[in-house]
Amino acid sequence: MTGDTKVIGTLDTVERAADSPDEPQPFADLGLAADEYATIRDLLGRRPTAAELAIYSVMWSEHCSYKSSKVHLRQFGEKLPPSDRLLVGIGENAGVVDAGDGWAVTFKVESHNHPSYVEPYQGAATGVGGIVRDILAMGARPVAVMDPLRFGPADAPDTARVLPGVVAGVGGYGNCLGLPNIGGEVVFDPSYAGNPLVNALCVGVMRTGDIQRAFASGPGNKVILFGAKTGRDGIGGVSVLASATFDDARQSKRPSVQVGDPFAEKVLIECCLELYAAGLVVGIQDLGGAGLSCALTELASAGDGGMHVDLERVPLREASMSPEEVLASESQERMCAVVSPEKVADFLAVCERWEVLATVLGEVTTTGRLEVDWHGERIVDVPPRTVAHSGPVYRRPIARPADQDALVADTPARLPRPDDLRALLLRMVASPGLCSRAWVTDQYDRYVQGNTVLAQPEDAGVVRIDEATGRGVALATDGNGRYTRLDPYAGAQLALAEAYRNVAATGAEPIAVTNCLNFGSPEDPGVMWQFSEAVRGLADGCLTLGTPVTGGNVSFYNQTGSTPILPTPVVGVLGILADVAKRTPMGFGAAGDVVLLLGATGDDFGGSEWAYAEHGHLGGTPPPVDLAAEQALAAVLRCGFLRSAHDLSDGGLAQALVESCLRRDLGAAVAVTGDPFVALFSESTARALVTVAPGDADRLAAVAGEHGVPLTRLGTVTAEPTLAVDGVLAVGLAELRDASESTLPRLFD
């Protein structure tokens, strides 16, 4: 099908560009630096056409090219040894790992931060849609999503605008797709005001032999665009919004945010899976950031290097669109496939059966160039690798922030410690940082498809991937911006450790990592110091834990004016469960079970929830990282006979006790030693709260001893609906539940 288009104005052809070398071009308005524009002219031996300039500008943007982060991200490949489990690594749409029994799992987390501030519902919804298509492009059936979210102060007026829209967008798109939302985070901090973080993760499943790749090979093979029509929504969307500081001066230039249609994407998913099963696809690429500019250049550069496209064939929603708009549009629910000529009819027939619009745009060539025509006129003639893989690479200046030493020196030791721990517990449980997230998560369908085994508020989401054997995967995402602000190297490792611990708490074996690195402007040397240290810390941590990094995303320019967000590396960890029937839940399960603490507790309050919630304080150093202790703890958590397990993190032991009690309305009678404030609220790492049947306490002690993990017997689970800490406090579960569950409804209903 050919779009109903018209040639409007003077078409900037390759011939015309060669004949008018001095014609001014708006490269700066498109986000290109003067030296970048000069490089493009050198590469082409002439000035670029308007269409070529559009392609280079979006593909060389920070969001698409990683030009400020590449030199640091290389550590994930250089430091980490090859993994037998890793089937597809960094560089593809998503990483793929071997899940056993012939199953492969692909997962990835990405950001849609700036669009979600401009238009919360559509920004969040299309963030979900985009990450789902990344997973689909690998050949997998998407089976679950997660959403790590961060907002400004919970009681701020703009948070009241942004948060409900984001949550509705995440839930609306995911629910309509029929994908369970099995986990995530909701974090509040003033630094995210005006710069919410909307990260989205998707996990998909396939057989190991069914992996698809993004490349255009085979001269004569056809290039087919299929899915939704192309419109002006999203022109300059995520590729521009995520590649510059978002401030008042730029708001008048805000590009449009993509508009999602989850029902169209659901049909597209089923259509793609049928195309894969029938063997009709040579290469496949989803259309997300940078739209056709990205899909065409990446497919061509990863294949034989040549492609010819007749751009006027693209089906349009608006007939007056210019070729530059068609190339840059980020309209959703679109895919681009490479198909051998003899299979085109079958490909189109499958699309027609699913009522998915499909159009042959062009074919793979041997020219080594991407050639795009518009009504018979050549408007693009470029080497595709110069667009997709040969963009600028910057070694940005790095400098430790001037206030870093003072920040670290301002330890929480100067803060007054409370006498009334009962009152403190109730305040902490009700604080925005620790209160129940049910107001958010109840808007998501967590159990659609019937394969969800554990979901929010559990430590990790667990999904069955094989009904015959019960094999499944566990997933958790974590990140603490306060920790990373105090020590970026340790903060990234603490995010990794917590996600690793959460996965292990379900009984799963953690095997792989994805990440979404959210930071301020790379043009700020202090931000680049934070980024470089965080990447170094994450790479070193993954090396120690033996968890390869399968891919991820970098989101820069998360700041308003000169004020950046807290540096926020979000780390996702995937684990494998041979049988999900043997997973370990977080909540206390039966009265009489023995309550125990695994791990050692220190006086660790730097960056803690207590320091921030009670005193608005951020200073000192975060809890020490001990990855060997995390590995040992994970081994104990996988012992196979725990009745429950819940990791200790924000809010310490007190918060873990409350959440474990409230999960199934069972009380606990426990005792702590030493300073009760430290015992209850310290955020020391490599710890977990567990329960076992009375007869298994000695057995657990033996396992813990074998792995060198400290074990403390705290008390027992009780039928009485009270959390009692001997000689310290006693609170009824009804009072705890009211404190925990009333905060978000009061703020956002």
Enzyme catalytic residues:
63, 112
What does the alpha-carbon distance between residue 202 and residue 130 come to, in Å, rounded to a whole number?
A: 10
Count of positions (residues) in the chain = 749
Compute how many other C-beta atoms are within 10 angstroms of the C-beta atom of residue 92.
21
What does the alpha-carbon distance between residue 634 and residue 709 come to, in Å, rounded to a whole number?
A: 10
What does the alpha-carbon distance between residue 209 and residue 200 come to, in Å, rounded to a whole number?
A: 27
Identify the burial level of 719 via C-beta atoms within 10 angstroms of its C-beta, where 0-12 means exposed, 13-18 middle and 19 or more buried. Answer: exposed
CB 568, CB 559: distance < 8 Å: no
What does the alpha-carbon distance between residue 296 and residue 365 come to, in Å, rounded to a whole number?
A: 13
What does the alpha-carbon distance between residue 563 and residue 382 come to, in Å, rounded to a whole number?
A: 39
> In sequence order, what are the residues at sequence separation of 6 or more whose Cβ sits closer than 8 angstroms to the Cβ of residue 414?
none
Mapping DSSP onto H, E and C, the string for 324-337 reads HHHHHCCCCCEEEE
Q: Which of 161, 171, 167 lies closest to 149, judged by CA?
A: 167
Q: Which of 562, 557, 564, 559 lies closest to 242, judged by CA?
A: 557
Strands 306-310 and 729-732: unpaired
Backbone angles phi, psi at 683, to 5 degrees: -110, 35
Q: Which of 87, 191, 68 lies closest to 554, judged by CA?
A: 68
Q: Where does residue 47 fall: left (phi above 0), alpha (psi -120 to 50 degrees), or beta otherwise?
A: beta
Give whole-number Cα distances, 474 to 88, 212, 427, 553, 558, in Å.
19, 23, 32, 21, 30
CB 369, CB 352: distance < 8 Å: no
Q: Which of 380, 166, 131 lies closest to 265, judged by CA?
A: 131
Q: Which two tokens stand for residue 246?
A: 């978002």
Give whole-number Cα distances, 481 to 495, 545, 564, in Å.
9, 22, 12
Give whole-number Cα distances, 129 to 149, 206, 224, 465, 717, in Å.
16, 19, 20, 21, 43
CB 103, CB 465: distance < 8 Å: yes
Q: Residue 258, Cα to own-chain centre: how many angstroms? A: 18
Backbone angles phi, psi at 8, to 5 degrees: -115, 130
Strands 222-227 and 334-339: antiparallel
What does the alpha-carbon distance between residue 225 and residue 122 come to, in Å, rounded to a whole number?
A: 23
Side-chain-facing half-sphere of 213: CA atoms under 13 Å: 15
CB 224, CB 360: distance < 8 Å: yes
